[in-house]
Amino acid sequence: MTVFLILFFISLAGIAVMLGRRLMLLRAGAMEVNKELGPLLPDWEKVRELAERHAKRYGYLATVAVIRFYVRSSNVAKARSKEIAGKLMNLLSKNKNGNGEGAVPQEPNKFLKKVLEYKAKIRHLKHKIKEEEEGK
């Protein structure tokens, strides 16, 4: 780690020395400032002028593109949600066995059926007894 720090500071000092020498030459007038950016880069003033001229139009185009994307994506999302809701309702409406056919009704448990019959008879007997007691 210390080796990297030492190398970093040595290179930083080297860059500072190179820039200092260049600055001394510029101040002495021995060197001219090259305002040309090179053949690969366009003129900065032309770029700025074109950007100012076309910025408003590109801003409108970008706004329209964003609104179109928003509307289309919301329509797609709405259609997908309806489709998914339909599938869910279809799955929920199916029987426990998983197929779309109606379930075969099962006959009730015989023991429970007998218990219900006995309860009904007992209720009927209790009602009769109550009527007889009120009638006396």
Residues 91-134: tens digit of each pLDDT: 777 655 555 555 566 777 889 999 999 999 999 999 999 988 88
Distance CA 94, CA 108 (A): 22
Helix (H, G, I), strand (E, B) or coil at 43: coil
User: CA 30, 36, 41, 45 torsion: positive or negative?
Assistant: positive
Q: Which of 3-7, 47-51, 102-106 has the lowest mean pLDDT?
A: 102-106
Alpha helices in 2-109 (DSSP H): 2-28, 44-93
Distance CA 51, CA 53 (A): 5
Give the pLDDT confidence score for residue 66 in this predicted structure. Answer: 95
Write the DSSP symbol of residue 101.
Answer: S
Q: What pTM value is reported for the model?
A: 0.35
